[in-house]
Amino acid sequence: MEPFQSCISAGVVFCLLGVFWILQNSFNTARQFYDNRGIVWTPPRFVRTFNKLPVEGVVIILFTLCAFCTEQVYPNWKWKMFNEDSELVNQSEWLHCTIYVAFLIYGICKALATKSIQGVWYYVPLYRCFAFAIEALLLIFQLVDSEDDRPYLDFRLHLLHVLTVVPVVLTGMMEGWWDDPLLVRLRCFSTFLQGTWLFQMAFTLYQPETAAKQPVVSETSDFVVVQYTFDVNNNNYSTPGGVTRDDDNTGMANFYSMVFAWHCIVSVIVITFCHAMMRAVAVCIYRRVLHQKVTKGEDIGMLSPIPNEV
């Protein structure tokens, strides 16, 4: 798989996961608040059917399997790990495939947990944290080992990518000890941020227009940096519009650090909006349930308003 398609596909999945997790958590937290006070809402049949389906797990399984196979066969076959001289080849591809396998394990665990198999729910946070930890570990060591071979801008963008993964690992570890909705929202924010930053990396480093002009990469190449459109005479990289961009310029790297801050701001806005929207939906649903109970003359007791932290 080309770096551009790899970043875009992974970015879509991480953005969807971040939004899905925050919507799910916001509604379930509000629902638990009312259920504990005896205000029970029975979802429609299609909602109950959807909740029983392992949607998240199946999506992750299908994506990781497709990404693993595509990584190894497109645009050419790269199944072998060592060449005739026992040298490691296709390092980037096998690194990505290792990450896909880690998320495949999480997807299988999540799918089994949705089917209410006894004891599996307990391991879902563990395997989720495990998958992101494997991703962070491999990305960190790849970045450290290739620091001298990468342009400064490429190194900075990948370093910022690692910073989006680490908070997911930390919050995932803390979720095992503290059942705090804030930790879940931090995980959703970091996951969504990782998705948006993968989009940024795809369009900054692996533009589609330059992909068609890339030189043939030998199987002994260690890092995807060799796949950029490189101007040997001027020692710089070209943008799709033909404008020369100096990727070793610290000013350019600082600019993209500011862009990363913009991504953080946008991610906070999106996650907050999704949380507020789903919380409002839950409040409207349960207010309707309360109205029906009052109309029927049922005693609902003293019900305090839903707290802000829910």
> Average pLDDT for consecutive 10-residue bins of the chain (310 residues)?
81 93 87 75 72 85 90 76 75 86 92 74 87 92 77 88 93 83 91 94 76 42 38 40 58 89 96 91 79 65 52
What is the distance between the alpha carbons of residues 86 and 12, in angstroms, rounded to a whole number? 37
The answer to whether 113 and 124 have CB atoms below 8 angstroms apart is yes
Instruction: Give the Cα-Cα-Cα angle 7, 94, 169 (nearest 5 degrees).
Output: 60
Q: What is the pLDDT of residue 19?
A: 94
The answer to whether 237 and 151 have CB atoms below 8 angstroms apart is yes
Peptide linkage before 75 cis (omega within 30 of 0): yes
Q: What is the pLDDT of residue 209?
A: 57
Alpha carbon of residue 261 to chain centroid = 17
Q: What is the pLDDT of residue 275?
A: 92
The residues facing 245 across adjacent strands are: 237
Task: Give the Cβ contact number of residue 200 at 10 Å.
Answer: 19
Q: What is the pLDDT of residue 247?
A: 67
What is the distance between the alpha carbons of residues 215 and 250, in angstroms, rounded to a whole number? 27
Alpha-carbon dihedral angle through residues 147, 152, 155, 160, given to the nearest 10 degrees: 140
Instruction: Give the Cα-Cα-Cα angle 59, 63, 66 (nearest 5 degrees).
Output: 140
Q: What is the pLDDT of residue 187?
A: 93
Please give the model's pTM, rounded to 2 decimal places. Answer: 0.80
The answer to whether 158 and 111 have CB atoms below 8 angstroms apart is no
Q: What is the pLDDT of residue 115?
A: 66
